[in-house]
């Protein structure tokens, strides 16, 4: 399969200052990836012109992902919080569009973090309305919006592919897709095969994160990789596959806390990234 292979920017850096951006983009190219996924938690802070120049220099494509927070949670019942979330999502979409990218994903439908109760009916409706409007805004620029399915400790809205497909059906936009992540599937789903098949049958399988069960080096945890890649081959998935891994070696002030990254799962970013790319290519080629 001719999939584009990406790597999450936080494999390299915790922010996006000029030195961090230069390191992340150059390292992504050096490690042999096709795409870098920008961690756009604060999309308005990105220097778009600088980032575009770096991407062009190194021949890379870019996608962006983010998770919202307590102040921008579009599944809130507080109208002011929902409005703030919609502004942040609009900034993230502008970042992708201005960089010539075609994908915006992540936990764009709620905050990224633990809740102490189920999502309310009104909160879920706010989230669906927000994502439908975001997809409408994204469509003229050729941008696809993906809802990343995450575990119960990082959202209370979409924990399984079944929930995501119902959410997408209600939003009912052609450029809205399910964003699968093996780390989260390993926690919430009953297999690594069925979610892939279900999203494909629905025509909504649009983007994939690959992460190990402990968020470290691929192939050293408990994920059933052969089952997962066999499912991708079975449905002929030709989209982007992005490696995502987190360690306390690289710290983002808010994301590291939201994801509970308290220990070193790795120390050498380049060694990790090269190993992951080789792991992915071996499974895809076989």
What is the model's pLDDT at position 264? 74
Backbone region of residue 106 per phi and psi (left: phi > 0; alpha: psi in -120 to 50; beta: other values): left
Among the options 37, 189, 212, 244, which is catalytic?
Answer: 244
Query: H or E stretch including 50?
Result: helix 48-58
Distance between CA atoms of residues 203 and 209, nearest Å: 18
pTM score, two decimals?
Answer: 0.95
Alpha helices by DSSP H, listed for 62-160, are 79-98, 121-138
**Residue 121 neighbours by CB under 8 Å, 6+ apart:** none
pLDDT band, very low/low/confident/very high, at 80 (cuts 50, 70, 90) = very high
User: Higher confidence at residue 216 or residue 251?
Assistant: 216
Distance between CA atoms of residues 151 and 171, nearest Å: 21
CB 104 within 8 A of CB 96: yes
Identify the weakest region by mean pLDDT among 73-87, 183-197, 246-260.
246-260
- Cα distances from 158 to residues 59, 72, 113, 184, 261, in angstroms, run 34, 17, 12, 11, 21
Taking 80 as the threshold, does the pLDDT of residue 66 lie above it? yes
Query: Nearest-CA neighbor of 247 among 259, 238, 236, 239?
Result: 259
pLDDT band, very low/low/confident/very high, at 248 (cuts 50, 70, 90) = low
83: number of CA atoms within 13 Å, CB side?
A: 3
Q: What is the 3-state secondary structure (H, E, C) of 166-198?
A: HHHHHHCCCCEEEEEEHHHHHHHCCCCCHHHHH
pLDDT band, very low/low/confident/very high, at 57 (cuts 50, 70, 90) = very high
pLDDT, one tens digit per residue, over 137-181 is 999 999 999 999 999 999 999 999 999 999 999 999 999 999 999
Identify the weakest region by mean pLDDT among 39-43, 232-236, 248-252.
248-252
Among the options 148, 154, 189, 212, which is catalytic?
Answer: 148
Taking 80 as the threshold, does the pLDDT of residue 249 lie above it? no
Distance between CA atoms of residues 195 and 118, nearest Å: 22
Question: Token pair for residue 139?
Answer: 């469509």
Dihedral Cα 136, 137, 139, 142, nearest 10 deg:
-160
pLDDT, one tens digit per residue, over 87-141 is 999 999 999 999 999 999 999 999 999 999 999 999 999 999 999 999 999 999 9
Sorted by where each starts, the structural domains of the chain and their CATH numbers stand as 5-285 (3.20.20.150)
Annotated catalytic residue 22 = no
Question: Token pair for residue 12?
Answer: 């390299």
pLDDT band, very low/low/confident/very high, at 190 (cuts 50, 70, 90) = very high
Annotated catalytic residue 148 = yes
């Amino acid at each position: 399969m001719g999939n584009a292979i990406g790597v999450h920017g936080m494999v390299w850096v915790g922010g996006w200052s000029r030195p961090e951006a230069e390191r992340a983009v150059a390292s992504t190219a050096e490690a042999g990836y096709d795409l870098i996924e920008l961690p756009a938690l604060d999309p308005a802070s990105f220097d778009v012109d600088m980032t575009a120049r770096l991407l062009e220099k190194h021949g890379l494509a870019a996608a962006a992902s983010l998770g919202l927070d307590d102040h921008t949670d579009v599944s809130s019942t507080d109208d002011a919080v929902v409005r703030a979330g919609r502004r942040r999502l609009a900034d993230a979409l502008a970042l992708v569009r201005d960089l010539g990218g075609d994908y915006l994903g992540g936990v764009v439908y709620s905050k990224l973090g633990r809740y102490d109760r189920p999502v309310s009916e009104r909160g879920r409706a706010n989230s669906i309305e927000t994502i439908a409007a975001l997809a409408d805004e994204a469509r003229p620029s050729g941008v696809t919006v993906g809802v990343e399915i995450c575990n119960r400790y990082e959202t209370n809205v979409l924990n399984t592919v079944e929930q995501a497909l119902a959410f997408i059906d209600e939003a009912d936009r052609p450029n809205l897709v399910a964003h699968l992540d093996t780390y989260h599937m390993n926690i919430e789903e009953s297999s690594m095969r069925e979610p892939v098949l279900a999203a494909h049958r629905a025509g909504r399988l649009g983007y994939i994160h690959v992460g190990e069960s402990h968020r470290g080096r691929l192939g050293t945890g408990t994920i059933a990789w052969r089952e997962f890649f066999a499912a991708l081959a079975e449905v002929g998935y030709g989209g982007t596959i992005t490696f995502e891994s987190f360690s306390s070696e690289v710290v983002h002030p808010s994301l590291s806390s939201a994801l509970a990254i308290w220990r070193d799962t790795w120390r050498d970013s380049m060694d990790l990234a090269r190993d992951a790319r080789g792991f992915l290519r071996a499974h895809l080629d076989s």
